[in-house]
Amino acid sequence: MKRWSILASLAVLAPMTVMAEGLTVPHLNGKVTIDGRLDEPMWVKAAHLPYTAFIRWVDNAYSNDPTAFQMSLFHDGKTLYVSLMSHDRFVESDAVPENSDGLYSLSFLTRSGKLKHYRLRWAANPPIPGGELRNSGQWSAHLLGPFDKPKRRGGGYVFEFAIPLSAIGHKPGDTVPFNIIVNDRDGKPRVPYHTPGAEFARFAWGNFDNDNRAGYKTLKLEP
């Protein structure tokens, strides 16, 4: 909880350029340890996307969404670093990964025109990576509260991962089409998302179809 409060406060002061259709990601140098803790000073200077910048879809059984989250991104010229910090009451897994808390998809259009999807979701504990992230090994997750029992309240979670720019076919100075989708559940765990009381919401920065590249925004990588 303390780490969340400190980073959330610093994020307000951090430089950020959010455009109507995209985000400028700073070029920051320094050693990064992928441990889900975001201790490095570069995370303070990273570009931040608060949950208020996302559009929200909710099932018709949904009543409220109290969860705040923030995406942060920066690169060092070779690697794009991404984090998702969620101040969640409950971190809920699901037998169907699409219904679980976490990053549904961070998606890029490569220079060659191919779509690549990076996913990290609480479909189990520990969380399960998906898409292009599954085989990279460059990811970590850190719980901010006591989630050893399903009904216990907690403080949220942090995802952190690294994507080589070469893997998405881009370099510093490029403008990269991309999309973000985040899932959030705050009600009954391990039931279908449309179940009354499941309290399921999905957030998108771009659109809710990560295969529809027409709705992608852009990521401007600083030189």
Structural domain range at position 197: 2-221
- Both tokens assigned to 209: 């179809």
Number of domains in the chain: 1
pLDDT of amino acid 4: 40
Residues 174-207 have pLDDT tens digits of 999 999 999 988 777 667 777 777 778 899 999 9
Q: What CATH number has the domain bearing residue 89?
A: 2.60.40.1190
Please report, for residues 6, 79, 85, 97, 176, the alpha-carbon distance to residue 11 in angstroms, rounded to integers and kept in the order given: 9, 21, 12, 30, 24
What CA–CA distance (Å, rounded) separates 41 from 98?
A: 33
pLDDT of amino acid 61: 60
CB-based contacts of 160: which residues, under 8 Å, 6+ apart? Answer: 34, 35, 36, 37, 38, 81, 82, 83, 139, 140, 141, 142
pLDDT of amino acid 151: 53
pLDDT of amino acid 17: 44
Nearest residue to 68 via CA among 181, 180, 203 = 203
pTM of the predicted model as reported, rounded to 2 decimal places:
0.86
Contact 132, 106 (CB under 8 A): no
Taking the chain (223 residues) in runs of 10, the rounded mean pLDDT of each run is 41 43 94 93 96 84 74 97 90 81 95 95 85 90 65 75 95 97 81 75 92 94 98
What CA–CA distance (Å, rounded) separates 70 from 72?
A: 7
